[in-house]
A and B are shown apart, each in its own frame.
Chain A
Amino acid sequence: MATESANGVSSPELNERDVVITTNDNRNFTVKIGVARVSKTINNMIQDLGESLDLSSGIPLPNVDGPIFEKVLEWCEEHKNAPEIKVEQDPHTRERKWFTMTEWEEEYFRKFLSHLWDLAMAANYLEIPSLYYYTCQKLAERIKGRTPEQIREMFGIEDDLTEEEKAEIRRTNVWCTY
């Protein structure tokens, strides 16, 4: 019965079953439940729907488009059995300790370097901690060591600060080496 198995969180048979997920551009993805569950948002939907879950008619994802979801699925497939990530920070400076990425993960981000913002937003909405935190770290990596001008150019940000404002920032940030 679909009802019981949909509620059984760790049921191996259920993880092997397919679910259809529809993105906001009306693309249908047929995904193994075990893979889709890497997203906590989708997992919750599957559990909440319970008996009313119709695996064939699918789950709608109004906030994610097809091309990005495809990339997210690639991550989920690779991380379907991965343990929860551990976010650690320096107890004194509060600086987050950087995660060590596998060769596969490094390659993944190399491939989708121009989609980091979309991936971060999708991972945040879909609640995939590993993808969310790792993408944010990749973005931090892009910012690190670059000047404000270079960052603006890289992200296409308009410079809307006046010279006075910039001078004031420089004055108050006395310890900063730009």
Chain B
Amino acid sequence: MPIPNIPNEILHNILLSLDRNEIEKCQLICQKWLQLVDTFVDTLPLYKISVMVLEEEILSSSTLYMPNIIHVHVTLGRNFPLLSFDGKPYERDENVQESEAPLKIHEIDEDRIKALKCCVVEKCSNITTKSKNVEKAFSKLFEVGGQKITILNYQANEDLETFSKLTSNYINVKEKLKSTFEVNKFDEDNFFTNPPEIPTPPEKISLTLEIFQSNIYDQDLQKLTNLKLVEPQRYSLAFPWIHVSVDFFKNLTEFYLEANPTTLVNTMKFRNFYAGDFSDHDEPMGMAIKSFVEFLEGRKCPKFSINLAEYRCKKEAFGSFAKLKCSHRKDVYELKRTSKHVIQVQFFTDNDDFT
């Protein structure tokens, strides 16, 4: 089956049926195929990384005079080796502000980080630390490797600044496009061969907040509005703490009633763990859902209309819920302000679903 002079269009069509690994292998066939992959690289299939986790590790040094070494590890799931960033030790060097200390990339990892451009990450999350190294690693990955992430789970530190920065790219899509078209940067001739890069936001962005206490304060909520989210339906807020009071839901509802609905996150996630003494129940029910139901029943929600059908069915299920084993369960409630503005409140009893 000798190969005649095949038009690139046909070879391109064949590559589209192959996975990324096969495509990169095809680059080794000959000059023609190498250039072919180069030409069509923006349309060809990508690697799929199912999970990417950023985690900081501090290696204590053996002597007092040597600073601790900080690594930010990026686990990329099966088939992909670990990536590491060397964080500059910050604790013992008082002259360098923690936020200024740069993250060093291992030489060997630089190619690997660049190669993330041809990957799509299904789920990306970080493990909270007190330092900013993880956040810096995040920014670096985004900057060097592109941003093709389907689900982003971000664990916020004390402030939401980095998160704002991470998402600002998506927020600025409109401005970016505007500047591309209006200012002379717009390269008309090469629009199709070299199109302007438009960042695509993840389909789902979950922001886990460790910053709040169970009493939710106005200024904390204000921070949420200040995030200036684009398409808030993509986002969800996750509250990992176990004690969620009735007042929390009350404050939250009030805040949502007053704020501009187009800037607010539509989904709230709660971990529905058993916490406390429920001696009058055979099986304990989670604190979060208990507070929520109390809130619904006590307040009667004058301004919010509850999706009644759902509530009734959930309420019935609730009676038997106490008798069930609390595993692999997800309860969903809807609070409707208008038909267009609905807050979804989700309760998870399974930790894996939550994060």
Residue among A92, A154, A157, A169 facing the most chain B CB atoms (10 A cut-off): A92
A143-B14, A148-B25 are contacts. A93–B112 as well, Cβ < 8 Å? no
Contact (Cβ within 8 A) A156 B3: yes
Q: For B30, give its contact among A89, A90, A114, A161 (CB under 8 Å).
A: A161
Chain B residues contacting A152 (CB-CB under 8 Å) are: 29-30
Closest 5 pairs (CB-CB, A-B): A156-B2, A140-B17, A95-B45, A155-B3, A148-B28
Interface residues on A, range: 35 or more
B97-137 CB contacts (< 8 Å) to partner A: 111-112, 114-115, 118-120, 122
Contact (Cβ within 8 A) A161 B28: yes
Determine whether A177 belongs to the interface, using a CB cutoff of 8 Å to chain B: yes
Bits for A126-146, please: 1 = Cβ < 8 Å to B, else 0.
000000110011011011100
Chain B residues contacting A171 (CB-CB under 8 Å) are: 111
A144-B22, A148-B26, A169-B28 are contacts. A116–B111 as well, Cβ < 8 Å? no
Contact (Cβ within 8 A) B46 A93: yes
A sample of 7 cross-chain residue pairs with beta-carbon separation below 8 angstroms, ordered by A number, consists of A94-B46, A136-B13, A155-B1, A155-B3, A172-B114, A176-B21, A176-B24
Contacts from B to A (Cβ < 8 Å):
1-4, 6-7, 9-10, 13-22, 24-31, 34, 43-48, 79-80, 111-112, 114-115, 118-120, 122, 148, 150
Chain B residues contacting A157 (CB-CB under 8 Å) are: 3, 29-30
A132-B13, A136-B17 are contacts. A93–B45 as well, Cβ < 8 Å? yes
Contacts from A to B (Cβ < 8 Å):
89-90, 92-96, 98, 113-114, 116-118, 120-121, 124, 132-133, 136-137, 139-140, 142-144, 147-148, 151-152, 154-161, 165-166, 169-178
Chain B residues contacting A154 (CB-CB under 8 Å) are: 1
Chain A residues contacting B1 (CB-CB under 8 Å) are: 113-114, 116-117, 142, 154-156
Chain B residues contacting A176 (CB-CB under 8 Å) are: 20-21, 24-25
Query: What separation, in Å, do the CA atoms of A175 and B114 have in the docked complex?
Result: 11
Q: For B13, give its contact among A133, A165, A173 (CB under 8 Å).
A: A133
Chain A residues contacting B25 (CB-CB under 8 Å) are: 147-148, 176, 178
Contact (Cβ within 8 A) B3 A148: no
The SS class assigned to the A binding surface is helix
Residue among A116, A117, A171, A177 facing the most chain B CB atoms (10 A cut-off): A117
Contact (Cβ within 8 A) B26 A151: yes
Query: What separation, in Å, do the CA atoms of A113 and B112 have in the docked complex?
Result: 39
Contact (Cβ within 8 A) A143 B22: yes
Query: What separation, in Å, do the CA atoms of A174 and B19 have in the docked complex?
Result: 15
Q: For A124, give its contact among B7, B30, B118 (CB under 8 Å).
A: B7
Chain A residues contacting B20 (CB-CB under 8 Å) are: 93, 95, 175-176
Q: How far is the CB of B230 from chain A (nearest CB, A)?
A: 20
Chain B residues contacting A113 (CB-CB under 8 Å) are: 1
Closest to A90 in B: B45
Residue among B2, B10, B25, B27 facing the most chain A CB atoms (10 A cut-off): B25
Chain B residues contacting A92 (CB-CB under 8 Å) are: 46, 48, 120, 122, 148, 150
A161-B28, A171-B111, A173-B24 are contacts. A144–B34 as well, Cβ < 8 Å? no
Q: How far is the CB of B299 from chain A (nearest CB, A)?
A: 41
Query: What separation, in Å, do the CA atoms of A169 and B14 have in the docked complex?
Result: 20
Contact (Cβ within 8 A) B7 A160: no
Q: For A136, give its contact among B14, B24, B118 (CB under 8 Å).
A: B14
Query: What separation, in Å, do the CA atoms of A123 and B31 have in the docked complex?
Result: 26
Contact (Cβ within 8 A) B119 A120: no
Residue among A139, A142, A144, A147 facing the most chain B CB atoms (10 A cut-off): A139
Chain B residues contacting A151 (CB-CB under 8 Å) are: 26, 29
Chain A residues contacting B80 (CB-CB under 8 Å) are: 175
Query: What separation, in Å, do the CA atoms of A177 and B26 have in the docked complex?
Result: 12
Contact (Cβ within 8 A) A158 B30: yes
A160-B31, A173-B24 are contacts. A143–B18 as well, Cβ < 8 Å? yes
Query: What separation, in Å, do the CA atoms of A144 and B15 have in the docked complex?
Result: 10
Contact (Cβ within 8 A) A155 B2: yes
Residue among B22, B29, B122 facing the most chain A CB atoms (10 A cut-off): B29
Query: What separation, in Å, do the CA atoms of A118 and B30 have in the docked complex?
Result: 21
Query: What separation, in Å, do the CA atoms of A4 and B329 have in the docked complex?
Result: 66
Chain A residues contacting B114 (CB-CB under 8 Å) are: 172
Given contacts A94-B16, A133-B13, A136-B14, 11 further A-B pairs with CB under 8 A are A92-B120, A93-B47, A96-B45, A98-B17, A117-B4, A121-B10, A124-B10, A152-B30, A154-B1, A174-B111, A175-B24
A117-B4, A172-B111, A173-B27 are contacts. A96–B21 as well, Cβ < 8 Å? no
Closest to A124 in B: B10
